[in-house]
C-alpha cells in the first residue's frame, strides 16, 4: 500500500472518529469524559479497599459475581462488578482500559449509551458463563465445572463490547473486525472463561448493532469544523 492509499484508508477508517475526539478534547479537555474519570476513580478506590485486611469481603459483597451465585444476586452486583479489578490481573490494566475505551466511547456516543452498551456486554458474558457451565466441558461452547468459582469481575467484557460498538457507529469496520479477530485468537490460544465471555459480549453487541441497523442507518456525527455565526464568514 503506497502512502496515498494509506492516507485515504486512514481518513476513511478513522477520520470521523478522530475528528469527534479532537474537537471534544480541544474544547472541553478533561471535562469531555466526566463519567470515565469517575469510573477510573471508583476502580482505584475498589482496588485500594479490597487490598486492606478489612476491605476484601465488603468489595466482594458489592461487586463480585460468580456463576454459583443466585441470578438475582448476580444481576444486583453486575453494575459495580465492572469497576472491581480482577484479582489475578494488574490494576493498571483495568484503569488503562477504562480510561482509553470508556473515554473514547463517552465522547463519541455519550455517557449513558456507554454505560448501557458496557452493561449489555457484561451481562452477556455473565449469562454465557451460566449457560457454558450447564453445557459442560465436553460441549464446544461449554465450560469446566471449576469455572463455577471464578470471580467474574473487571471491565474487559464491557471494553471489548464498547470497542466493537464504537467501530460500528463510526464505520471503522476494519478496526472492528481486527478487535473481533484478536478476541477469537485469544480463545484459541488461551481457552478460558474470560476469553469466551469476550466473544459472548461481542455477539451481544453485534446483535444490538443489527437491531439499530434494522431501524434505519445510523450516521456518525461529522467532525466539527469552525463554528460560523449568522452573517459572518471566515477567510480573508
Residue-wise pLDDT tens digits, 187-204? 999 888 999 999 999 999
Determine the average pLDDT of the residues in 98-117: 96
Residue 118 is predicted with a pLDDT of 96
Q: Is the pLDDT of residue 87 over 90?
A: no
Extract the C-alpha cell encoding 139: 460441549
Residue 230 has pLDDT above 50, yes or no: no
> Residue 91 corresponds to which cell in the numbers above?
490494576
In this model, does residue 27 exceed pLDDT 60? yes
Q: How does residue 83 score in pLDDT terms, banded at 50, 70 and 90?
A: very high
Q: Tell me which of 230 and 102 has the higher pLDDT.
A: 102
| pLDDT tier for residue 43 given thresholds of 50, 70 and 90 | very high
> What integer is the mean pLDDT of 12-39?
92
**3-state secondary structure string, 164-221?**
HHHHHHCCCHHHHHHHHHHHHHHHHHCCCHHHHHHHHHHHHHHHHHHHHHHHCCCCCC
pLDDT digits (tens, 9 = 90+) for 197-226: 999 999 999 999 999 888 866 555 444 333
How distant, in Å, are the alpha carbons of 134, 176, 202, 222 from that of 14?
41, 11, 21, 12
- The pLDDT, as a whole number, for residue 217 is 61
CA–centroid distance for 223 within its chain: 23
pLDDT at 113 over 50: yes
- Percent of the chain whose predicted confidence (pLDDT) is above 70: 91
pLDDT at position 1: 59
Amino acid at each position: 500500500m503506497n502512502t496515498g492509499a494509506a492516507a485515504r484508508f486512514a481518513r476513511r477508517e478513522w477520520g470521523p472518529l478522530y475528528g469527534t475526539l479532537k474537537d471534544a478534547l480541544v474544547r472541553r479537555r478533561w471535562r469531555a469524559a466526566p463519567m470515565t474519570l469517575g469510573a477510573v476513580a471508583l476502580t482505584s478506590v475498589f482496588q485500594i479497599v479490597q487490598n486492606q485486611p478489612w476491605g476484601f469481603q465488603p468489595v466482594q459483597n458489592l461487586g463480585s459475581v460468580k456463576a454459583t451465585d443466585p441470578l438475582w444476586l448476580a444481576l444486583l452486583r453486575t453494575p459495580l462488578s465492572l469497576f472491581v479489578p480482577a484479582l489475578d490481573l494488574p490494576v493498571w490494566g483495568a484503569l488503562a482500559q477504562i480510561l482509553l475505551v470508556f473515554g473514547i466511547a463517552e465522547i463519541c456516543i455519550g455517557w449513558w449509551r456507554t454505560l448501557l452498551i458496557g452493561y449489555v456486554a457484561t451481562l452477556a458474558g455473565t449469562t454465557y458463563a451460566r449457560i457454558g457451565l450447564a453445557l459442560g466441558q465436553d460441549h464446544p461452547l461449554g465450560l469446566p465445572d471449576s469455572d463455577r468459582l471464578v470471580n467474574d469481575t473487571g471491565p474487559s467484557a464491557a471494553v471489548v463490547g464498547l470497542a466493537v460498538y464504537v467501530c460500528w457507529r463510526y464505520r471503522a469496520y476494519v478496526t472492528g473486525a481486527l478487535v473481533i479477530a484478536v478476541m477469537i485468537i485469544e480463545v484459541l490460544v488461551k481457552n478460558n472463561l474470560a476469553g469466551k465471555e469476550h466473544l459472548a459480549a461481542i455477539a451481544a453487541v453485534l446483535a444490538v448493532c443489527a437491531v439499530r441497523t434494522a431501524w434505519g442507518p445510523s450516521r456518525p456525527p461529522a467532525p466539527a469544523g469552525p463554528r460560523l455565526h449568522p452573517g459572518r464568514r471566515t477567510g480573508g
